[in-house]
Amino acid sequence: MDNGAVVSPISSSGTITDGPYPETKAVIGGFSIIDVPSREEALEWAARIAVACRSAQEVREIMCDPDS
């Protein structure tokens, strides 16, 4: 199960692309874990963070919902 995405700070709302990996030269390190009810909300938060930090954010599901 790898349904990752990368959110880039291209615009004021963030740009979402499929695929779990940003370019290696752009990776510095660190991570945040957020608990949200949907993938869409996770992508919205990643877009906010990407714009605020001016850095692409990688989004991955680390716990799957047993009800889905």
Task: Please list the pLDDT of the chain residue by residue as tens digits (68 residues).
Answer: 457 777 777 655 555 655 655 555 655 677 888 889 888 999 999 889 888 888 788 888 887 667 75
pTM of the model: 0.61
CA distance 44 to 29: 21
Position 44 scores a pLDDT of 92
CA distance 58 to 2: 12
CA distance 50 to 8: 6
Alpha helices in 14-67 (DSSP H): 39-53
